[in-house]
Structure formats: structure tokens, C-alpha cells
A and B are shown apart, each in its own frame.
Chain A
């Protein structure tokens, strides 16, 4: 991978991480702690909303965030062709289709 490509890959990676961590901060620290008392004015069923965010909602949010991250990174890796040569000996082995296939088999082993 060229130097320029590596840089722009890293920048895109940082954007994803930053965006997801903002959501992470918002659902836990903001909704679950800072605004919890205010959110308690609203209810879902037997739960006050602030209480629910603190003890349930934030955790569901964390799980979703990691899977969104996995999806976005898969897409980014694919875009930069970083997803094909995981265990190959040599870089740029993708140009050779059989080598790429071998490395996939290696992944599963």
C-alpha cells in the first residue's frame, strides 16, 4: 500500500473511531449520568428513562456500537483492499488469486 493510501486509510479510521466514541460518551456519560435526573421525567413502562439508560440502555448501545464499528471497518478494509491478505507470507499476494485463496483457508484453520 502506498504511503498516501495508508494516510488516508488511517484518517478514515480515526473519523469512524471518533464518531463512535462520541456516541459512546453520549449514551453512557450524558444520558446515564449527567442527564439521568432530567430523563427520569419520562417513562417507558415501569422504567424511568434515566434509570433505564443507566442500567440497561447504555449496555445495549455499547453492543450495537461495536458491531457497527466492525461493519464500518470491514467496509473500509475492503475499500483499501486490506481484507484479503491476512496471513499471506508476502505483501501484495492478492495479485495472485491462488495465494489469496490459500490465505483464506489459513484464516479458517
Chain B
């Protein structure tokens, strides 16, 4: 069977499964809709969190990015996993104890202020929309390449499925679909990695394989040594040493960690478990499930980079395998025979280099590059869709709850009944799906840049406000609002300036302290902290009942 038929089969089966789950897990109350009734087991929640977290970017782009960044790619790996340590130790247990539905609800109640709540609603919606665009674009790439339908049809199919289970089931439907999506995506990610590891090093465990010796037909010797040798020879720099400045890598890693811990769609997952202890436990499970993919990604990066260099370098264009031309048609690989010798020169020097390879195809084309069976390529397509849809649904829920609960119920119309609120939530998710679908069909040209935005903004707004709210009972509303506004504005301004206003200025000598826009969230976080603590010092203490909330959330168990 061809890749395309396999792909149709896998996508049909997996989408059918998601639809069945949607029918089975319908939400009857706002409690169901927002936090799945609060009765999700820590293991289930861990798995759902992992799917919620691992987006199209983790699945499709990350290994490719690492294969081009070499050791520096570690900032994605450490940043997107290390944030879970912060989440588990500093946020999840306390927010679970607090026991409300949303992040703006915590900010609004803890800082006893509607303007704090409104600021938080605004941050949550901006961050989630920015992030959801990237998911839709990822889904679009998969549909257009593997099903050869146009992107519009692909996105509409994907959105219909998300719409179906998110609108019917809310958090309840999303949680159980995410569990299924995790299984699909991790299987789809591991199968080609294990195949490649076996083929190239004879070791079935990719995490060990990429530190092993190559099989004789691949030239023997340690894989990483060979990759270092090849990369140096072609002028790309040594793979296993850093190319970026140390402070930039440091700041980007920190920004991604703080951002991870401050992303509302991840935080709300911890509201769905029954107890504080379960919240801690499910953070642990979530990281285990995430680490399976995140420790495989750098192995996959090294395998596919070695494979790519071996296949294309100085090879005759006419002898390229069929995957080369399929991806050329999508424009993700381009070859320009500058010196007219009919061979591909793939080198670090831009003047001589004739090949450009889009990073995203490193994962998607891997099965074909390694000549794995057709069903493996199809599986990767289904996995990538699972990753994109699971994250999109989590984000859409944040947008919907921010509007129906925080904005309508808590700010605009407090007299809203529960039934009305549930309807508002469904209407909000409906419109959010439509808008996200629009961006999927007409992707803004700057999706990759915008994702850095989401992390930087979450890091500079929510993370410090929540941590201070828990660990510093003296923190008051003036401090928190001033800190969030300062951190958010500063980070947004820095990124907008270097990414959109004057991208030509975006080089190390113009950056503050050599920090790239991707890493500026760390400075934004610090600014937020400094502003919040300073303003707090000169303004009145929070009322006694708020200090009582803080005392209450610090102790697990006791319900007072």
C-alpha cells in the first residue's frame, strides 16, 4: 500500500477514535467543562498534560531545529522540560489547593482586584491565540504534504474534529482525547527513531544509540564523532560544541523554563486532579511522558543530520531518491545548482551552498530518507496531527474559559446562571475555533517568531505574579499589576522591535547584554519581580482575608 493510503487509514482511525471519545465524555456542568469535574487520576492527567504540552513544534520542528543547532539546541530540551520542575515545586500544588478553574481567577482573587483579573484575562487570551496559530499551521503542513489535499480542506477537517470534542465535552472531552492523542503521538515518534537507531548503530534504544558506534556499512566509529567530522568538513561548525554565546543560551533556556511554568493551558491541567498530592504526582508523570519524547529528539536529530549529510553531500542531483523531489515540490527543499556541475554542494558557506532544507522536514521526511516501510511515514503524519490538535484544544479551552468565566461571569455579568455560563463557554470555543481555523488557512508569515512571543510573555507576566502570590503573602494588588504590566510591555516591545519593526538590527551587537528576542522573557521576568517588589513596598498591605487565602493554599489537605 502507498504512503497516502496508509495515511488516510491512520488519520481516519485516529480521528474516529477522538470523535467516539467526544460522544462518550460530554460535559454536564461548568465544573465538568472547566476542570473535568476535578476527578481525573494523576496518571491520566499526566498523560493528558504531556499531549497538551507537546505541540506541533515539539513533534515536527524540534528535532529538526536541534539538528541544525547542534549542542545549542539543548535550550529547547532543557527549557521545555526544566519548566516542569518549577511547575511542580512552585505552582501546581498550591494552585490546586486554591481550587478555582482558571489562572485569571487566581490572579483576580489573590490580588483582590478586577483590573488584575482583566490584565490576566488579556495575557491569557493573547498568549493562547499566538500559540494556537502555530498548531494550525503545523496541521496544515501535514495535510498538504501527506494527503495532498489543499490546506483549507485539511484545516477544516481538523477544526471540525477539535470543535466536536471541545464543544461537547469541554475539559472532560479534551482530557480523554488527549490521552488517546498522547498514545498516538508517542508511538509515531518512537517507531522511526527505534528503526533508525537499529539501522545505524544496532542499538534499539535511541537515547543510547546516538552515543554508540556506527554499523560498519555506515563507516564505523562513534556516531557523534562522525557527525562532528562531517559538519566541520562542510563548514557548519562542530555539532557537539556550542555556536551561540553562553549568555544567550542561558537566557533563552531560562525564558523557556519560566514560560513553560507560566503557560495557562498547562497550569489549568492541574486543576483537574482530586488533591494536592495528586497535583504533585501528575506533574511527575507528565514529565516522564514528556521526557520520553524529549530525550529521543536529540537522538533523532543526530541520526537524521548524519543521514542527510551522507545522502546529499556532493551527490549527483539526478541520483537523488524520490523523497527529495516530493519535498522539493512542497518548497521545503530547494536546490540551486550555482556552479552548474550537477552535484549538490551542501556547505556552511552561503556563497557556495546550493541546498536549503527546511528544518520541519527532518522529522516528517525521516522515514523516507531512511527508507522505512510506508506505514511508518503515515504513522508520523497521524502523530503530528495528534500533537497539533491536542495542544490546540487545550489552548482553545483557555480562551473559552477566560471569556465565559473570568470576563462574563466574574467581571461583566455576575448574575449569569451556570447554564448560561456553560452556553457562553461553548459559544466562545466555537468562535475561537473559527478564528484559529482562519489563521490555519491564512497563516501569518511570522508563526515561528510568534511562538517565542508566547513563551516570553507568559514568563514575564504570569510566572512572577503567581509565584509571588504564593510565596510572598505581603504582595499586594498594586505590586502585582505594576509588575505584570511592566514585564509584559517590556518583553512585547523588545520582541516586536527586533522581530517586526527592524529585523535587520537583530544581531548580537544590538541586543541588550547579547540577549536575543527569544531569551528576553528572562529579563522581563526579572523586571516584573523588581517592579512588583518595589511598588509593593510603598503601598498598603493586602487585606487580612487575602493573607488568609495565602495561608490556606500553603497547607495541603485541610479544607477551611
Contacts and interface: CB of A to CB of B under 8 A. Distances in A.
Contact of A33 (B246, B283, B560): B246
A36 B242 contact: yes
Interface string A73-109: 1100100001111111111000000000000001101
A77 B86 CA distance: 20
Contacts of A28: 78, 82, 253
Contact of B211 (A52, A60, A65, A84): A52
Those 10 A-B pairs whose CB atoms lie nearest each other, nearest first: A46-B222, A54-B74, A46-B211, A55-B298, A82-B557, A66-B284, A47-B211, A86-B275, A51-B240, A45-B211
Interface in B273-315: 274-278, 280-281, 283-284, 287-288, 291, 294-295, 298
A28 to B, nearest CB: 5
B199 to A, nearest CB: 16
Interface string A34-48: 101100100011111
Contacts of A17: 89-90
B193 to A, nearest CB: 14
A73 to B, nearest CB: 6
Interface in A1-49: 1, 6, 9-10, 13, 17, 20-21, 24, 28-29, 32-34, 36-37, 40, 44-48
B557 A86 contact: yes
Contact of A63 (B78, B211, B291, B555): B291
Nearest to A92: B558
Contact of A62 (B93, B240, B287, B298): B287
B287 A33 contact: no
Given A17-B90, A29-B250, A73-B280, 7 more contacts: A9-B554, A48-B224, A50-B71, A66-B85, A84-B557, A88-B559, A107-B274
Interface residues of A, number: 54
Contacts of A52: 211
A58 B291 CA distance: 10
A59 to B, nearest CB: 5
A73 B278 CA distance: 12
Contacts of B246: 33-34
A47 B224 contact: yes
Contacts of B295: 56, 59-60
Contacts of A109: 39, 274
A17 to B, nearest CB: 5
A56 B66 CA distance: 13
B385 interface: no
Contacts of B188: none
Contact of B554 (A10, A21, A33): A10
Contacts of B241: 37, 40, 51
B395 interface: no
A62 B81 contact: yes
A75 B31 CA distance: 31
11 contacts: A1-B555, A6-B554, A28-B78, A33-B246, A48-B240, A58-B74, A62-B84, A70-B280, A73-B277, A77-B557, A86-B275
Contact of A82 (B78, B225, B556, B560): B556
A69 B280 contact: yes
Interface string B188-227: 0000000000000000000100111100000000111100
